[in-house]
Chain A
């Protein structure tokens, strides 16, 4: 589960003052969480991380291999290269490292968002993040 539109709104509202970093924490028991994470990083290899990021969020749960390849096509990526990457789990170690980090932080929910290190758990309304960010900007 991604914060999707809320994070987008946050980015727009604080453009220039905010840096967004994405780490992967795919839930072991959801079928496509992992492969979707692979897809996002495979798209990153071809310079279209954020476009794929947005597609994955809006098209979820249609994140099976077939659909992911279709999205790569839609984005004009080198489909052969993309497919090879997700099939080979090219970015397994990065994803595993993110998971390890999440587990070391005892995260048990997604999205978990850290704003200058301040933790917020779960999908929250825009006003909630705004309050924290405004405090951080003071």
Chain B
């Protein structure tokens, strides 16, 4: 009984770590970079740009 509970728990943990690639979040510091839009906007879009 305990073994079944353990394996079930492992399954749940394993499933929760199979993240979907696009939900991984990177911590990118804003620094003093040029910014447009409200500072408290719910969505921040950081673009690494090459003008050419």
Contact = CB atoms under 8 A, between A and B. Distances in A.
Q: Do chains A and B touch in the complex (CB under 8 A)?
A: yes
Interface residues of A, number: 60
A33 B52 contact: yes
Contacts of B32: 94
A27 B48 contact: no
Interface of A: 1-3, 7, 10-11, 14-27, 30-33, 36-37, 40-41, 44, 49-50, 53, 56-57, 60-61, 63, 94, 97-98, 101-102, 105, 107, 110-120, 129, 132-133, 136-137
A116 B47 contact: no
Which size class do B's interface residues fall under? Answer: 20 to 34
Contact of A40 (B23, B24, B28, B51): B51
A118 B24 contact: yes
Main secondary structure of the interface of B (DSSP, over half): loop
A19 B27 CA distance: 16
B33 A23 contact: yes
Nearest to A39: B51
Interface stretch (B1-9, B10-18, B35-43): B35-43
Given A1-B50, A111-B47, A136 B42 contact: yes
Interface of B: 22-39, 41-52
Given A19-B36, A97-B31, A136-B42, A118 B50 contact: no
B44 A116 contact: yes
Nearest to B29: A101
A22 B43 contact: no
B52 A30 contact: yes
Residue among B23, B30, B49 facing the most chain A CB atoms (10 A cut-off): B49
